[in-house]
Amino acid sequence: MQNYPHPIIAREGWPFLAVAVIASLVVTFIAPWYCSLPLWLASLFILQFFRDPPRKIPGDDRTVVSPADGRIVAVERTQDPYLQRDALKVSVFMNVFDVHSNRSPVDGVVEKDWYHPGKFLNATLSKASSENERKALWIKTVNGFDVVCVQVAGLIARRILCYVRSGDRLARGQRYGFIRFGSRVDVYLPPDVLVKTSIGDKVYAAESVLAELPKGRRA
C-alpha cells in the first residue's frame, strides 16, 4: 500500500465538504443570509469531522500506538476470535467529534484480512465486537508478534473504508482506513504485552501508546 499523504482534511470528506460549501454559497446569493446559516453550520461540522491533522509517532518500535482517536472502553483478557488464541483486547470508541482516520498500531505485514457483514449496534457495547459489521487485519510485526486490528461499524457509522489487504506492509502510525460517523476499533495483542492505558483514557491515533511489546523475537 502506498502511504498517501493527507492534507489537513481527509480525502474521504472532500465530496461531502464540496457539496455543503457549494450549497451554502448558492443559498447565500439567492436568499436572505439567515436561510443559509444551517448550511454553513453543516459545512463547519463536516470540516471538523473530516479533519486529519499530522501526528508525531513515538520512536520506539516496541510500542503499540492507538489506531484511532477516542476513548478507551475496554482493556481485557479475552479470546482472539480471528487467530483463536489468548489475547489482550484494547478497544477505542470514536464519537462524531473525534478524528476518524484509522492508523496502523504497529510496523508489520498484513498476513490476512477479514470482512464480516453484521448489525449496527451501539459501538460502546461489548457485543458490537462480535455482532456488528467489521473489517479485521492480522498484522505480523518484524519481530514476529501477531496483532489484530478491527474496524467496527456502529449505530451511526455505516461505512468502513480500508485501503489494505493481505501482503501489504504497514508502518506504525500509517493511515490505512476511515470509518464515517463514529464507531470503534478493537486491537488484539499478545497476552504478555505491557499495558500502557486504562478504561476511560482519551487517546489519539498514532500518538498515544496502548501497550509495549515484549523484548526479543517471537518464533
pLDDT in tens, 124-153: 777 878 888 899 999 999 999 999 999 998
pTM to 2 decimal places: 0.85
pLDDT in tens, 69-125: 999 999 999 999 999 999 999 999 998 888 888 999 999 999 999 998 878 776 777
- Please list the alpha-helical segments (H only) found in the chain: 14-30, 33-49, 128-131
Report domain 63-212's class.
mainly beta
Q: Which of 96, 100, 97, 136 is nearest to 11 (CA)?
A: 100
Number of residues written out for the chain: 219
CB 155 within 8 A of CB 182: yes
Residues annotated as catalytic (active site), given as ranges: 183
